[in-house]
Structure formats: C-alpha cells, structure tokens
Copies of this chain bind each other. A is one copy, B any other.
Amino acid sequence: MIKVNGDVKKITTLDEIRQSKDIVEIEGAVHKLRDMGGFCFILVRTLNQVVQVVWDIDGSGDYKCHEGDWVKIKGSVVEDKRSKLGFEIHGKEINVVSKAKSLSPVPINKGKVNLHMDNHLKHRPAVLRNPSVRAIYKIQEGICRGFREYLTSQSFTEFHSPKIVAQGAEGGANIFKLEYFDKMAFLAQSPQFYKQAMVPVFGRVFEVGPVFRAEKHDTSRHLNEYTSLDFEMGFIDSFYDIMNMEAAMLKYTFELLGREYKEELELLKVELPSTENIPAIKFHEAKELIAEKFNRPIRTYKDLEPDEERLLGKWAMEEHGTPFVFVTHYPSQTRPFYTMDDPENTDVTLSFDLLLNGLEITTGGQRINDYDMQIEKMQKLQMDMEEFESYLMTHKYGTPPHGGLGLGLERLTMQLIGLDNIRYSTLFPRDINHLIP
C-alpha cells in the first residue's frame, strides 16, 4: 500500500539556479524562440521570470519545441552580464511535457499588450501569461498579504461571512436577486452586518472576500463583483483610530511590496507612495476648497463628484506631497443607517473615505454601538425593525464602540499601478457586458 508522507517537490529559485555549478533543470513555457543561425535562443517563462536558454541546433533547424509548449530543459548556468538576470543557460536536453495546440492570437511574449478592451478580456486566459499583465496580479497578491499579515499582527481575527443573504447592507436597488429554494435571497453588497456581529466575539476582525453590486453604469472604475478588504475594530476612542489603522496597514503593505515584489514593481515602473502625513479634510471644507481653488461651482452637497475627487487628489499632491487624502464627516443623509452621527453636529457623520490619486478606494467610519440610539435612527428612517432583529442582537446584548472600513482591492491595485481602467486590475471582470471568462 502506498503511504503519503508530504514529500513535496521544491521549486528551485532563481538564486539557486544562478549559483548552481552543476547541470540544472528549469521548467516553464516556451515564451519566445529566436533563430540566430546555428543556434537559437529559447526564452523560457518560469513561475516568476523569463530565462534565456542557448540551444545549439547544429544547422538542423530543429528547435525541439514550439512557442507555447511547456518544457523541462537541462543545461549549465553561464554568467552573462548582458542578461537582466545575470546568467543564461546552455541547454543540453529539452523535454516537451505538454504541447500547445495553437499559437496565442494575442501577444504573450511582447512587452506591452495593445488590444481593444473587448479583445483583451475575451482572451484573458492567454493575455494573463504576458509578464507585464501577470505582474499586476502578483502585486495584487502582495496587497492581500500585507492586509492580512498586518492585521493579524494587530490581534485581528479573520472570518468568513455568507454571500447569500436575506437583506442588503447598503440599501437601494443595486442588489442581485437570487432564487434560494422557495425563498428570495440576495448577494451580499458588503459583509457589514457580519463584521459588526463579530466585534463582540473577537474584538477586531477582518475578511477578504467578494462583494456584489448590481449597478448598471458602465464606467472605468466600477465592477459588479469585486474583492473587498474589510476590517472592523472594537474599543476605538474615535474614528481616527480606524484611519490610523488603515494608514499603518498600507505602510506595512508597501514595505512588503518593496521587499518581496521588487521585480514586478520594476517591470511596471511602479513607485510606492508614502503613507506619512496623510491630510484629513472635512467633506464640506473639501467641497469649498475645490470650488475656490479650481474655480468650480458646487453642484451638490450629497457626495463628491468624480471630478471633485480628482481635483482633491491634485490638491493633496501639490499642497501635501502625497497621493492620499482622507475626506471625513460625510453628510448623514448619504451614509447608511448604522453610521454614527457626529455628536457635535448630527447633520454629518463620523465617517470617511480614503482617496488615492483622486479616486475613492476606501469607505469607513464609526458605527452606532448603543441599542437605543440605533433603534431611534432606524425609526427616523422608517425602517422595518423586525427585519433587522438578528442584526440588532449585536447591539442588544452589548457591543463596544467600534468602526471599520471596506477597501476595494481592484481599485487600490489600479491606482497604485496607474492603470486607466479597473478591468485591467481584475483577473476576470464582471460588468454589464462581461460574464465570460
């Protein structure tokens, strides 16, 4: 009988290959073949880099492999200062372990992918193999790691909340409906109610998971499904505790990226922003500042318009030398029923957005923790209390002062890398026109 003991095959790192004096074996896709007459270059796309192999074809013209095939190549490591990696491999043996059926119709082995959006998205399974494209999602992985690692170090506990729910957390009509056996259900717009329920359990909690918004508009910054990085923390003294936690998390994350995702950052020419001295400006002051500074009439006091966010980002960079800006104290009217009003002025809330390069990437704030206060606000909004019986248990049986935020992973990735459409920072985007792949 076979016994399984966890003897795993290790991946040889590039550093190990570089330092090897013996014959090494590399595995990867045949990224590009370049005939040099008498010999050829085989560029092999490994897990994290493209490695150059020199292959002697003895005038036979036989490369032993084709672009797109997956190969194992044995050879010796030869220092080569001209190569980006500092070495190349002189191939001795090629073993094709899996053949491609066709050449990719989209450029996998070019520096840039210049495709019309629809064509790009249609061919995602091929386009993603392009090193510049895959680097985006490697950096995205790093952002998630940073978020989790930092919060774990700060005594946060990770949890998983259901995505099929009986009611929306954000209100409004932007919610997907679902047949759930003989009932009607919805897809969660956010883990809000569950995060709050978890505060009296673990004190500090976070979740990384999908959220769903049935918004019909088709813009460069909206998706109908995205990955939300959510946290919620108890025992706050003020809602600035939440903003500080976010700034500290971002600092940790950018340091992690700088340390472990260097090659991807270089490939995409990303400069990591500083998280020091992020200005926090009140919503109404921001409105007036933009109006005055950029000579622009205020059209609504409900929310910041996309153009106002953009100009505010410009202001933050010019005046404070940072691409980040917190906007605080949003109007009570436009924030959800669980938001804590400012006791000094109940027309505004103890809430905030964080903008990066002029685009909102986070919404957060302090929540109501007192049961009577929450009931009163819900009554004022004529909400059906019975429907929220389960949600209100959190307050009824006691919960500490708390608050939290939701950070859009794809938006942060897009703004950090400087992409012009959120579909370019989403592996398989969902919008009104795209459900495949």
A binding-site residues for B, Cβ under 8 Å: 1-11, 27-30, 46-48, 68-70, 72, 97-104, 108, 122-126, 128-129, 134, 137-138, 140-141, 144-145, 148, 152, 154-155, 157-166, 176-181, 183, 185, 187, 193-194, 197-198, 200-204, 208-210, 212, 214, 216, 224-225, 227, 234-235, 237, 240-241, 243-245, 247-251, 275-281, 326, 369-372, 390-391, 393-401, 409, 427-430, 432, 435-437
Contact = CB atoms under 8 A, between A and B. Distances in A.
A392 B36 CA distance: 34
Given A70-B399, A134-B202, A241 B8 contact: yes
Copies of this protein chain in the complex: 2
Given A4-B326, A144-B158, A427-B194, A432 B181 contact: yes
A237 B163 contact: no
B126 A393 contact: yes
A179 B177 CA distance: 6
A237 B9 contact: yes
Given A70-B200, A70-B399, A97-B400, 14 more contacts: A5-B278, A6-B247, A6-B248, A7-B248, A8-B248, A99-B370, A101-B372, A124-B390, A137-B202, A138-B202, A141-B158, A141-B159, A164-B224, A180-B224
A5 B180 contact: no
B129 A5 contact: no
A203 B49 CA distance: 12
A358 to B, nearest CB: 18
A1 B98 contact: no
A243 to B, nearest CB: 5
Given A1-B281, A180-B176, A241-B9, A200 B164 contact: no
A393 to B, nearest CB: 4
Contacts of A176: 164, 178-180
Contacts of A47: 155, 202-204
A210 B5 contact: no
B240 A210 contact: no
A11 B280 CA distance: 25
A397 B212 CA distance: 32
Nearest to A196: B125
A263 B425 CA distance: 41
B70 A437 contact: no
Given A155-B11, A163-B210, A244-B6, A102 B435 contact: no
Contacts of A177: 178-179
